[in-house]
Chain A
Amino acid sequence: MKTLQYFTLVALAASFAGCATVAPTELVNARSAYQLASDGPAQQLEPAELHKAHEALILAENSFRKEPDSYRTKDLAYVAQRKSEQAGALGSIAAAKASKDGANADFQTKQSEIVEQGKKNLSDSEKRTTDAQAENARQAALKSAKDKADADSQMQQAAIAQGKMDLNAAEKRTAETQAELDKQAALKLAKEKADADSQLQQAEIAQGKKDLNDAEKRTADALADLASLASLKEEERGLVLTLSGSVLFRSAEATLLPQAQVKLDQVAKALLAIRARNLIIEGHTDSQGTEAYNQSLSQRRSDAVRDYLVQGGYPADHIQSRGKGEVSPIAKNTSTEGRANNRRVEIVIEREAQLSKK
C-alpha cells in the first residue's frame, strides 16, 4: 500500500519536475533502499520503521522538487536511504529473532520430547529393571524351590535307600527266620523221621529180635530134629551132621536108597528151617579099593546128596559137595565096624560168622 503511494508520489513529482531535472545520486539510492526495505520482512515485522523511512523519503522528494540540487535535498535523501536501510535491518533483526525464537521453541519442544522420551525410557528401563528384578526373584524362587525339591528328592532317595536297606535287612531277617523255621521244621521233620526211624528200628529190632528168637527157636528145633535124625556134633568147622553111608547108599554105588530119601527129606526140612547157612556135603569112604576110586565114589555120593537137597528146595548156591575119599577116617579101617563108620556123608553146617565172612 505504501509502495503504491510512494510510486504515486514519484509519478507526481516527475510530472511536476519534467524531464529537465535529474534526481541526485543520494535520492536515487534512497528510493532503491526504500524499495528494497519494502520488499523485505520490514513490511510485516517493522511497519513503523518502514513508515519513518517513507516519511524521510517524502521529505527528500519534496526538497528535491523545491531544490533539486541543493545539499539539503541530498542530505535528506541520504537520511532517507539510511532510514530505509535501518528499516530493512530492523526487519532482518525481527526475522532473525523470529527465526531464533522458532528455533528455540523447536529446540525446547524437541528437548521436551527428548526429556519426555528420556523419562519414558527411564520409566521403561525402571519397569524393565523392576521386571528383571521380579524375574530374578522368580528365578531365585524357582531355584530355591528346585534346590528344595532336589534336597527333598535326595532325602527321599536316601529314605528309599534306607527303606531298601531296611527291606533287605527285613528280608534277610525273614529269610533267616524262614531258614531257621525251615531248619526247625527240618529238625522237627528229621526228629520225627528219626523218631519214626527209631520206632521203625525199634520195631525192626523187636521184629529182628522176634525173628531172631523165632530163628533161634526154629534153629534150635531144627538142630533138635537133626540131632534126632543123625549124629550132630559141634566142631570148629561148624555143626557136623553125620549120616551113615550104609543107610544112604548100597555098597559101591552112589544112588540114594529109598529110605535114604525119606531121611534126607527130614534132614532137608530141618535144614530149610535154618537156611541161609552154607552147607558142605562131604563124602567119605573106607580104605577098601583104590584111593582114586574111593575119591570118585565119595564125590559122586556127595553130589547125589547135594542134588537131592537142592531138589528139596535148598538153595543151590549155598550147597557145596566135596569128595573126601578115604583120607579122613573117623574109625579104624581094620575092623568091619570101623569101616562102616568111615563110610559116611557129613553135612557141615557152617556157623553164621563163617557165612558173613564169605
Chain B
Amino acid sequence: MKYVSRIGIMLFAVAVAATGIIAGCANAPLRTEASTSGIRAAEEAGAAKVPSASLQLQLAKEELESAKSLAAKGEKVQADSMLRRAEADAELAVTLSHEDAEKSEAMAAVERARQLRKDNQ
C-alpha cells in the first residue's frame, strides 16, 4: 500500500510539474534578446553600409517585428520560430559586414604588396 501510494504521489508530482512547465511555457514572454543583440551587433559592424549585409539586417529587423506581432497574437511557437530567422539573419549580417571589411583589407594588402614589388623591381 505504501508502495502504491508512493508511486501515486510521484506520478502526481510529475503531472503537476509537467502541467506547470507547459503552462509556464505557454505564458512565458518572447525571448528577443538574442535577436536584438544580433541586430545591434550588425549595426555596430557597419552592416547598414554594406549592401549584402544591409539586406540581411533589414530582414532581421522585419523578422523580429513579425515575431513580436505573432507573439502578440498568441502565436508563441511560430513567433519563436520567426525569431530563429531573425537571429540567423542578424548573425549573417554581422558576418557579411566582416567579410566585406576583410576582403577590402585583403585586397588592400595584396595591392600594397604588389605595388611594393612593382616599385622595387
Which residues of A are at the interface with B, using a C-beta cutoff of 8 A? 71-72, 75-76, 78-79, 82-83, 85-86, 89-90, 92-93, 96-97, 99-100, 103-104, 106-107, 110-111, 113-114, 117
Contact = CB atoms under 8 A, between A and B. Distances in A.
What's the dominant secondary structure at chain B's contact region?
Answer: helix
A79 B82 CA distance: 10
Nearest to B89: A82
A140 to B, nearest CB: 38
A107 B88 contact: no
Given A71-B81, A86-B92, A107 B99 contact: no
A104 B84 CA distance: 39
Given A75-B82, A107-B112, A96 B102 contact: yes
Nearest to A104: B109
B2 interface: no
Contacts of B81: 71-72, 75-76
Contact of A82 (B77, B88, B102): B88
Interface string B86-119: 0011011001101100110110011011001100
B78 interface: yes
A71 to B, nearest CB: 6
Given A100-B106, A110-B120, A78 B85 contact: yes
A229 to B, nearest CB: 156
A39 B112 CA distance: 29
Contacts of A107: 109, 112-113, 116
B91 A82 contact: yes
B120 A100 contact: no
Interface in B46-88: 56, 77-78, 81-82, 84-85, 88
A118 to B, nearest CB: 10
B106 A97 contact: yes
A66 to B, nearest CB: 14
Interface residue range, chain B? 20 to 34
A89 B92 contact: yes
A128 B113 CA distance: 31
Given A75-B82, A79-B84, A99 B110 contact: yes
Given A93-B102, A96-B99, A96-B102, A103 B88 contact: no
Contact of B116 (A78, A82, A96, A110): A110
A71 B105 CA distance: 40
Contacts of B85: 75, 78-79, 82
B116 A111 contact: yes
Contacts of A78: 85, 88
Nearest to B103: A96
B46 to A, nearest CB: 15
A89 B116 contact: no
Contacts of A106: 113, 117
Contacts of B106: 96-97, 99-100, 103
Contact of A103 (B102, B113, B120): B113
B105 A100 contact: yes
Nearest to A113: B120
A89 B113 contact: no
B92 A85 contact: yes
A89 B96 contact: yes
Q: Which of A83, A89, A111 has the most CB of B within 10 A?
A: A89
Contacts of B96: 89
Nearest to A107: B113
Contact of A83 (B88, B105, B113): B88
Listed residue (A79, A82, A92, A111) with the most chain B CB atoms within 10 angstroms of its CB: A82
A98 to B, nearest CB: 8
B99 to A, nearest CB: 5
23 contacts: A71-B81, A72-B77, A72-B81, A75-B85, A76-B81, A78-B85, A79-B85, A82-B85, A86-B95, A89-B92, A90-B99, A92-B103, A93-B98, A93-B103, A99-B110, A100-B102, A103-B110, A104-B109, A107-B109, A107-B112, A113-B120, A114-B116, A117-B120
B59 to A, nearest CB: 9
Closest 6 interchain pairs by CB?
Answer: A82-B88, A103-B109, A96-B106, A100-B106, A96-B102, A75-B81
